[in-house]
Amino acid sequence: MSRLIVVSNRVSAPKDPAAGSAGGLAMALSAALRKYDGLWFGWSGETVETFKPEAQFEDRAGVTVALVDLEAQDVDEYYNGYANKTLWPLFHHRVDLTEYERSYGEGYERTNARFAEVLAPLIQPDDLIWIHDYHMIPLARDLRRRGITNKIGFFLHTPWPARQLLVTLPYHRRLVESMFDFDLLGFHTREWLDLFRDYVASEPDIHGKLLANDAMEAFGKTVQAGVFPIGIDVDAFVEARNSALGNRTYDRMAASSAFRSMIVGVDRLDYSKGLEQRMLGYEQFLHDNPEMRGEVFLLQVTPISRDEVDTYQDIRQRLDALSGRINGEYADMDWQPIRYLNRTFRRDQLAGVYRAAKVGLVTPLRDGMNLVAKEYVAAQSPEDPGVLILSRFAGAAEQMGEALLVNPFSREELSDAIKRALVMPLAERRRKWESLMQVVRDTDVGVWRDDFVASLRAVDPQ
C-alpha cells in the first residue's frame, strides 16, 4: 500500500494520542498516517537565522513527522503576512481588513518554494500527497516544477470567497492557476465549491470549462473537485465527555448553574467568529427580556490567537471593553451576565461544559465548517439535550438545519433565538438533537478522511 504524506503549515501531530487537548483533525490525520505508514510534513514553529533545505525527523505517537525551520522573515511575510493578513480576511469576506503588500506575496511564494525544495526528495514514486489549507496553495505547482508526478490533493479548511471579492487580490489569477496543479480539490460545502467554479467559469481571459462530476478545465489543465464536509471524532469526543475530568467539569458547571441557565460560546479570538455581534445580541436579549435577567448567563471561552497581528490586538481590546460594559450595566450583586475567559481548556473539560449548557451559541460571520457546533451536539445528554443556535454563514449550517439558524449580524434575531432556545419544550429539543446527532455521526472525521483519500486514489492523473 502506498504511503500518505500529509502536508500542513505547521505540524500538529499530537505527541500523545490520548491527550485530551489534542485537536480532532490532528488525531484523525495521525490515525490515517499510522494506517498508511505515512509522513507528516510542515513547519516546526521554530525560526533560524539562515534557512537550510533539510528536514528534522521525529516520532510522535507512532507518526513520523518531518519538520522544517523557517527564517524570521519567512514567518513575518508568509505566515503573519500573506496567510493571516491577506488570504484569511479575504477568504472570510473581510476585504476591509485585507492587507495587500507586495512583500507578503513574495514571502508566500518564496516559502512555499522552500517547502517544496525540502519535501520533493522525501517523496517516493507511489506516495499520495495531501496538502492542507490556504497557507500552501502554490505547493503542488512548486512540486511539479521539481518533477513530482504523484497524485496530489488539496483541502481548503476555510470558505472560498465570492469572485467579486477574490479579484481584489493582486495576482488572483496566478493563485487559482496554481490550484490546477493538484489532482483533487476538496471543499467543506457545496457553496464554497460553487464559488470556486464560478470564478473558473466567469473570470475573463481564463476561458474555463465546467465538466461533469465537478471537474474543471482551465490553464490547459484539468482538476477534479468535490465536497468533503469535515466532522469530529465522535467516539473519542463522547469518551472525553464521559471521562473523569469530563464528568467533574460537568458536575462543577451544573452546580454553578443550578438556578440559572448557561449559554456557552467557545471560539478562538478572531473577527470571523462574530464575537462582538454575539455579545451585542445577548445584550439585546437582556434588554428585551428583563424578567429573565438573573436567570441566565453567557460563558464565552475565547483563547487568544495571532496576538502578534494588530487586528487581533484590536478585537481583544474591543471585546474586553464590550463585556465589561454589559456586565457593568446589567450585573447585580449576585449575578454576572457574561463570564468572558481568554483561556485554553482541554477537550474533556470543554465536553463537560457543553453538556451542562442549555444553549450552544455558534454564530460566526463566516466559517469554513465550525466543529464547535458538532462538539456541542455530541456532548448533550439524550434525555435532556440543549439547543444549538447556529449562524447560517457557518459551513455546518448546510448540514445542520435542525439547529436554530440565525443571521449573526442581526441583534434581534440573536435575541429571539436565545429566548426560543431557553423556553423550548423537551420533546422539541429531543427531536432536534436526535436529527443533529445523526448528522454528526454520518459526517465523522474518519468518514471525511477516508472519503478524501479514496477519491484522491481514484482520480485520473493529469
Question: Is 451 designated active site?
Answer: no
Q: Which residue in the block uniquely carries the three cell numbers 483533487? A: 184
Task: List the catalytic residue out of 157, 188, 214, 348.
Answer: 157
Are 9 and 158 within 8 A, CB to CB?
no
| pLDDT, tens only, 260-274 | 999 999 999 999 999
CATH code that applies to domain 4-231+445-458:
3.40.50.2000
| pLDDT, tens only, 131-153 | 999 999 999 999 999 999 999 99
Torsion over CA: 42, 449, 83, 163 (sign): positive
CA dihedral 44, 45, 46, 51 (to 10 degrees): 60
What secondary structure does DSSP assign to 202-234, as a single string?
HSTTT--EE-GGG-EEETTEEEEEEE------H
Domain limits, CATH 3.40.50.2000, in the chain: 4-231+445-458, 234-442
**Which of 30-39, 49-58, 282-291, 406-415 comes out lowest in average pLDDT?**
30-39
Question: Is 76 designated active site?
Answer: no
Task: List the catalytic residue out of 127, 270, 367, 444.
Answer: 367
- pTM for the model stands at 0.94
DSSP three-state, residue 419: helix
Q: Which residue in the block uniquely carries the three cell numbers 441566565? A: 296
Domain 234-442, CATH among 1.10.10.1150, 3.40.50.150, 3.40.50.300, 3.40.50.2000: 3.40.50.2000
**Which of 27-31, 125-129, 417-421, 429-433 comes out lowest in average pLDDT?**
27-31
Q: Which residue in the block uniquely carries the three cell numbers 451576565? A: 337
Amino acid at 235: D
| pLDDT, tens only, 407-428 | 999 999 999 999 999 999 999 9
**In this model, does residue 127 exceed pLDDT 60?**
yes
Amino acid at 350: L
Q: What is the mean pLDDT of residues 427-433?
A: 98
User: What residues does 298 pair with on adjacent strands?
Assistant: 263, 338
